[in-house]
Amino acid sequence: MTIDDGNAHNLRMPSLRIVSMLPSATEMIYALGLGDSLVAVSHECDYPSEARSRPKAVKNRFPTNGVKSKSIDRRVAQALRRKESLYAIDLDVLADARPDLIITQELCDVCAITGTDLAIALHKLGISPRILTQTPRGLKGIFSDIQELGKALGAPSEAGILVSKLEKRLENLKRKIPKVRRPAVYAMEWLDPPYAAGHWVPELVEIAGGREMLGNPSKDSKRISWTEVAKADPEVIVLMPCGFDTRRTLEEAKRLREIPAWRKLRAVRDGRIYAVNANAYFSRPGPRTVEGAELLAHIFFPEDIAWAGPAGAFARYAVLS
């Protein structure tokens, strides 16, 4: 995380007006008890529920509701080749927000507004709020971002307590993992075409007791071939397309049955395919990634590790139905 102070060096923390352009940062702010300071958010900031009522400073240029995975991938690839932004900043909302602090990212052009887009918008408005940029690539980075955010908001103690609680949950989870052979896992971050998970997801798989066979730890997720999937022949496949919830993932996954290589996989033969709410627990580098590790541990070892979260967080994928 980096901070650009702009012209706001002498801000009093209690008076901060915050614009969060990241769902993960919004979750962090609420987890620190500072949600009332949010004056605008992105269109994807939907957790906790209070965030949904905030003005939307960022909008999606390419709505994806009802659009199939393959079409989304094609549209995104075309936009990136043309160097077109996938998101738009609502200048009127941003101007009305009168932000002291804006939180953005430089991790993924596909996931959220970039710093370049933000700089252009601020230049047009003629304002210079403080800018805080998050770029986590693993759990350590996520926890560091929480602590840096706490410092920026005048709540370093609260951030330290939150990180300590999250780290303790992970340590407790590690102790619960059965001392047996770890299952070979494919965390499938996109369905059509297939992608292997990157950044913090392979780390979550390992903490949960699995062996990630195709992941790209601490780096971007990567497109792979069905030949690579077949060669890895995972015992467990976790369907977690970026930004999808469980219901949408199950619907999209029906098309996997049309792929010849799919039915030959060990995980398919054994019925160990699971759809998860990636939008809540895996796509966003926020506090709920710890719950993602707990969810994976339950999927890998259902008889040993209970899942205390929402019932809709995951579902077993019916291979033949």
| pLDDT tens for the chain, residues 1 to 321 | 555 554 433 343 556 999 999 999 999 999 999 999 999 999 999 999 999 999 999 988 776 777 788 887 787 777 667 766 778 899 999 999 999 999 998 766 666 677 788 889 999 999 999 999 999 999 999 999 999 999 999 999 999 999 999 999 999 999 999 999 999 999 999 999 999 999 999 999 999 999 999 999 999 999 999 999 999 999 999 999 999 999 999 999 999 999 999 999 999 999 999 999 999 999 999 999 999 999 999 999 999 999 999 999 999 997 654
Q: So what's the pLDDT on residue 10?
A: 38
Gyration radius from the chain CA atoms: 20
Q: So what's the pLDDT on residue 2?
A: 55
Q: So what's the pLDDT on residue 151?
A: 96
Which residues, 6 or more positions from 248, have their beta carbon under 8 angstroms from its beta carbon?
A: 241
What DSSP element (H or E) covers 151? helix 139-152
Sign of the dihedral defined by the CA atoms of residues 19, 22, 27, 32, in that order: negative
Sign of the dihedral defined by the CA atoms of residues 20, 22, 23, 24, in that order: negative
Which domains, from first to last, does the chain contain? 2-163 (3.40.50.1980), 180-316 (3.40.50.1980)
Tokens 């609680």 belong to 165
**Whole-angstrom Cα distance, residue 259 to residue 237?**
15
Q: So what's the pLDDT on residue 113?
A: 77
User: Cβ distance 194 to 187 under 8 Å?
Assistant: no
